[in-house]
């Protein structure tokens, strides 16, 4: 069921239950009040009748009383039918009654005060008070039907609560209307979302929205903003990738044409084949870097639960670059002063980060350079001498596809972007320095 329907049904059930509970409570309270009132009335009447001289009562007196009762107006008839009185002598003979209900009373010499008794052929329940006359020669019984008291209490509740029942119906209708009105902003938001085009990622308007759903709308807007940034990032990535791939692919086509045209010129053909191989290597490296960067973009910090064995990670990274470094007579030195403070993360990503740093260092270092890797408690520092970067380019290092002007070494311009992304995912920072022909990359916690 919808939230609106659940609210309406819940309110309706609670309102009806509250109305019934209050009605039952009122009936019980009214019943007690009626009992106290009628018991007092019966007791007062019994005391008054106890002072009467019943010795002079004869059958003629009874007949006269009967005639008087029969000629009375019907007003109060219901009360007369609900009440009864009878007077008995000590032998149990009824000497007087009210010509109504009192005639069905039976003598009881054992009860004094109030008692609930079943009287008559129908065995109806009566509340009867028994007392003796002042001279102790007669027994007086004054009773009232219990059903009458119940009906009187029920009538009182009906008179009070039936109007409240109509009021409850009006209240429920009003609440249904108000709930419907209050849910209109949600319905409008739903309609706006349904009517949106797939490329419409504008934030949702919530100035007129209820306070309770503003956090939901803010969260939705934050999500839309993330999606917008992600799509924009993907578009930029695709555009940059297309731009970067266009040049090597064009060059490959040119070299392929040269190979085909220089079939008779072995020297030219071999040079073209060499250029073709280098172009393929560059393109392969670029695609690998792009795939790595794309994979990193999908990572989240919550997935980084591997225990990081730093010595093993550095050992593998250095071994992978050993042959390339050896070709340029470059020495790689690793100095573990302390274990790096970061204990958990993605081993694969840190290996990729170090591979890119060492690859960059080897590519852009001169022959015979030294590359030093220092590991301390809160930072990793990689420095290569005989290498410098113009200060005006320092701040742009790490941008995707950015390469300083005048570079003669082939590259994709993605290596340091991958380094910064991996460091950021592990909540680390990357800084660059170029001092006295020494280029330094520092990764800090």
The per-residue pLDDT string of the chain (445 residues; one tens digit each, 9 = 90 and over) reads 777 788 888 888 888 888 888 888 888 888 888 888 888 988 999 999 899 888 888 777 777 777 776 666 555 444 445 788 899 998 889 988 887 888 889 898 888 899 999 988 888 899 999 999 998 889 999 999 998 888 888 888 888 888 888 888 888 888 888 888 878 877 787 788 788 887 788 877 777 777 777 888 888 888 888 888 877 777 766 766 665 566 567 767 777 777 777 767 777 777 777 777 767 776 776 677 667 766 666 665 555 677 888 888 888 888 888 888 888 888 888 888 877 878 888 777 888 888 888 888 888 888 888 888 888 888 888 888 877 777 777 778 877 767 666 566 666 667 788 788 888 888 888 888 888 878 888 888 8
Give bridge partners of residue 439 from the DSSP assignment.
384, 434
Retrieve residue 138's tokens: 């007669």
What stretch of H or E contains 144? strand 138-145
Region of 443 please: left (phi>0), alpha (psi -120 to 50) or beta. beta
CA distance 41 to 319: 111
Complete DSSP assignment for 104-165 = G----SS--EEEEEEETTTTEEEEEEEEE-TTSSEEEEEEEEHHHHHHHHHHHHHHHHHHHH
**Closest C-alpha among 337, 403, 341 to residue 375:** 337
> What is the layout of strands, in order, in the sheet containing 94-97?
94-97, 83-89, 138-145, 124-132, 113-119
**Closest C-alpha among 50, 66, 69 to residue 58:** 66
CA distance 308 to 223: 32
The predicted-structure confidence for 32-42, as pLDDT tens digits, reads as follows 888 888 889 88
- Whether residue 431 contacts residue 444, with contact meaning beta carbons closer than 8 Å, is answered with yes
CA distance 221 to 202: 8
The predicted-structure confidence for 383-398, as pLDDT tens digits, reads as follows 888 777 777 777 788 7
Q: What is the largest CA-CA distance in the chain?
A: 162
């Amino acid at each position: 069921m919808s939230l609106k329907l659940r609210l309406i049904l819940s309110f309706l059930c609670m309102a009806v239950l509250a109305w019934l509970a209050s009605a039952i409570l009122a009936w019980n309270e009214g019943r007690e009040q009626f009992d106290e009132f009628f018991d007092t009335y019966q007791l007062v009447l019994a005391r008054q009748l106890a002072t009467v001289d019943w010795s002079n009562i004869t059958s003629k007196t009874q007949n006269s009383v009967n005639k008087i009762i029969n000629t009375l107006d019907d007003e109060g008839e219901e009360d007369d039918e609900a009440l009864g009185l009878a007077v008995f002598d000590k032998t149990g003979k009824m000497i007087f009654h009210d010509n109504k209900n009192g005639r069905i009373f039976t003598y009881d010499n054992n009860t004094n005060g109030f008692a609930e008794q079943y009287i008559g052929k129908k065995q109806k329940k009566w509340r009867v008070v028994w007392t003796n006359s002042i001279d102790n020669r007669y027994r007086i019984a004054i009773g009232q039907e219990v059903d009458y008291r119940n009906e009187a209490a029920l009538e009182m509740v009906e008179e009070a609560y039936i109007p409240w029942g109509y009021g409850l119906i009006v209240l429920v209708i009003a609440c249904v209307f108000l709930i419907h009105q209050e849910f209109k902003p949600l319905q409008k938001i739903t309609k706006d979302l349904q009517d949106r085009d797939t490329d419409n990622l504008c934030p949702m308007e919530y100035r007129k929205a209820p306070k309770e759903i503003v956090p939901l709308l803010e969260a939705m807007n934050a999500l839309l903003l993330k999606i917008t940034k992600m799509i924009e990032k993907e578009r930029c990535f695709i555009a940059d990738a297309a731009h970067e791939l266009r040049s090597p692919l064009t060059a490959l086509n040119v070299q392929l044409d040269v190979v085909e045209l220089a079939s008779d010129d072995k020297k030219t053909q071999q040079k073209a084949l060499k250029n073709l191989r280098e172009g393929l290597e560059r393109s392969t490296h670029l695609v690998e870097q792009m795939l790595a960067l794309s994979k990193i973009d999908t990572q989240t910090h919550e997935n980084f639960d591997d225990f990081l064995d730093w010595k093993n990670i550095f050992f593998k990274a250095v071994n992978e670059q050993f042959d390339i470094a050896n070709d340029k007579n470059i020495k790689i030195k690793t100095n573990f002063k302390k274990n790096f403070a970061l204990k958990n993360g993605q081993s694969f990503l840190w290996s990729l980060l170090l591979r890119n740093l060492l690859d960059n260092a080897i590519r852009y270092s001169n022959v015979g350079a030294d590359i030093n890797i220092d590991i301390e408690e809160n930072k990793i520092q990689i420095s290569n001498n005989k290498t410098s970067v113009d200060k005006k380019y320092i701040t742009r290092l790490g941008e995707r596809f950015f390469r300083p002007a005048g570079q003669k070494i082939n590259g994709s311009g993605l290596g340091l972007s991958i380094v910064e992304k991996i460091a950021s995912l592990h909540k680390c920072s990357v800084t660059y320095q170029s001092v006295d022909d020494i280029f330094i990359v520092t990764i800090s916690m």
